[in-house]
Structures are given as C-alpha cells and as structure tokens.
C-alpha cells in the first residue's frame, strides 16, 4: 500500500516488499535475506529530488471502511495492478492547495509516513517503522494520505451532492491549461477531481490510485505521468485520459465517467454502466457535480472545451 508514495531512487530496478517475521515490513530494491519478499513494482532512472517543506493538511474525520466493490477489482485489472514508487515532487503544490478545503463528508482518510534509507549493504529500504540505528541526516521521511476509496464512492450516507460545497479555486492554472489542451470542459474536470479525491493531491487509494485524479500506475504511464503526486502532471494525464474516454464514448459523460471509475473494458462488457453499486453512485454524482460546476464557472470555462462536448 505504501509503495505508491515512495520517492524513486536514482537508479533503475525493481522494488520488493519484504516481511521479516518480526512485524516490520520493509521495501527494498533487493530481496532481503531470510525475509518473505514479493516484487511489487519497478522504477526508472531519475535524479533524486529534494522535497521542500509543505504545510500538513487538516485532518479529516474517520469513516468506517467499506467492503471492496467489484468496481475496484475491475479498475485495478483494467489499469494495472502493481504500484511502483512515485517521486515526491520537489516543487511547491501551488497556492491552490491552500484553497482545497477538506470536506467533512469525505471517506476515511489515513495520514502517515514512511522512512527511506540506505543500509550498510547498499540496499535502499522503505519502512513504516522508524529504523533503529539510522541517523536523521541519512534518513528521509515521506508523508502520504491514504483513502479507503474515492470521495464520491465512499461519501457518508445522507451527503447531498446537490448542495455540498464546490471548489472553484483550487489548481486553477493546472485545470484550465489541461482542459484547453485536451478539449474538455473545465466543469467536467473539476467534477471528476471532486469525485475522485476532493482536491487532495496526496491521495492514495487501497487499489493504488494516486493523486488528484486518482490515476492508476498503468494509466499514469500510459499518458506520460512520471509523478502522479505532482498536481500539474496528474491533472494533465487525467484530463488526457478523460478526453480519450469522452471521444471513445461519443461525448457521453455517463459512459466516460463509468469508464473512468471501473475501466472502459467493464463498460464494453456490460454495454453501458456496469452493475456495480460504487460505479452507479459515482456516475450519478459526477453528473450532478458537472452540472453544478457548469453553473458556478459560467460560459468562460465551458469555452475551454473547444470542439469536444459531453452529454
């Protein structure tokens, strides 16, 4: 679970999840002798980036975990299963992050941290338990936010998407630029981001979906996203995927949203919205949010869609 938030080492290779039998789970680019190790991902060469300090987001109230829906499995199968480590961006997350106000109706959000260090054997380790005998100077602390499921998939019972507070200020430049580049209404982009992460750029789901638009690792790679926790990259890749879905389903937002949630293969299989409770809730709520964002943003934002429309 934690691997999706780990920084990439400066060399290419594989990443293993190793259980040593003492209750400590570590992540390493080599198999740990005597441990039960499983390959969980791989990474490409990249220069190490020193992250700048960021203000910690406000804590979100807890919500009981929900049972895994078939949509989770379909989405994972359609978009890729292994979760490779992702680079922690060194650039600030823009002032727009401050504009993203956590919603009390959000699904359970778990915040935590993992520790990265290079052992005496030259192996890079990642662990959720602070390692003993490792100096602070040689250890990196990486923070993450873990969501049980997407915002619109796991909202509390009774939450009315027709009246919950919209966010028309967060990530303005990133959203507007991506919407114009790929010909998608800004209102639709904001509706998907709201439905997926409620504008949390550090969100990580239990199936490995990452960032604002909850990109699965395979989808991120497919659209050239190297750091899914970087707002500009995540939105750029997510909007490109959304534009592809809208074109594939002839501008039908209902089917495009269903494909975004459950995978386009599931939409093809059922010749429409899959019969998954989560996906049906998601599609309905995205439509409501899109209509509300259209009204809130006005004609200027709608003009960014160019020739691509959604219905």
Q: Which residues are catalytic?
A: 196
Q: Measuring CA to CA, which residue among 111, 140, 137, 97 is closest to residue 10?
A: 140
Residues linked to residue 127 through DSSP beta bridges, in sequence order: 26, 115
Round to whole Å and give the CA distance between 307 and 296. Answer: 21
Burial of residue 247, with CB atoms counted within 10 A of its CB: 0-12 exposed, 13-18 middle, 19 or more buried: middle
Round to whole Å and give the CA distance between 106 and 197. Answer: 9
DSSP letters for 166-220: P--STTHHHHHHHHHHHT--HHHHHHHHHHHHSS-TTEEETT--BTTTTB-HHHH
Round to whole Å and give the CA distance between 171 and 95. Answer: 8
DSSP code at position 63: -
What crossing angle do the helices spanning 253-262 and 277-297 adopt, rounded to 10°?
A: 130
């Amino acid at each position: 679970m934690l691997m999706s938030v780990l920084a990439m080492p400066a060399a290419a290779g594989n990443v293993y999840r190793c259980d040593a039998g003492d209750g400590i789970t570590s992540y390493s680019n080599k198999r740990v002798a005597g441990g039960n190790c499983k390959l969980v991902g791989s990474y490409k060469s990249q220069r190490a980036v020193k992250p700048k300090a960021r203000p910690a987001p406000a804590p979100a109230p807890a919500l009981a975990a929900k049972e895994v829906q078939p949509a989770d499995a379909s989405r994972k199968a359609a978009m890729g299963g292994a979760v490779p480590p992702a680079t922690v961006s060194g650039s600030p997350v823009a002032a727009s992050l401050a504009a993203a106000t956590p919603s009390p109706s959000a699904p359970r959000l778990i915040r935590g941290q993992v520790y990265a260090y290079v052992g005496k054997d030259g192996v890079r380790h990642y662990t959720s338990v602070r390692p003993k005998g490792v100096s602070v100077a040689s250890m990196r602390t990486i923070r993450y936010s873990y969501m049980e499921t997407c915002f619109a998939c796991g909202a509390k019972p009774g939450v009315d998407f027709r009246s919950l507070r919209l966010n028309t200020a967060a990530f303005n430049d990133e959203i507007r630029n991506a919407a114009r580049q790929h010909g998608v209404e800004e209102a639709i982009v904001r509706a998907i981001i709201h439905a997926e992460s409620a504008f949390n750029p550090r969100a990580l789901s239990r199936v490995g979906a990452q960032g604002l638009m909850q990109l699965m690792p395979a989808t991120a790679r497919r659209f050239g996203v190297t750091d899914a926790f970087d707002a500009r990259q995540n939105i750029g890749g997510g909007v490109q995927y959304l534009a592809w879905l809208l074109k594939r389903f002839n501008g039908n937002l209902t089917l495009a949203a269903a494909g975004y949630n459950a995978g386009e293969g599931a939409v093809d299989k059922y010749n429409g919205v899959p019969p998954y409770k989560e996906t049906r809730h998601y599609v309905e709520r995205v439509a409501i949010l899109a209509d509300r964002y259209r009204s809130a943003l006005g004609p200027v934002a709608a003009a960014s869609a160019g020739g691509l429309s959604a219905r």
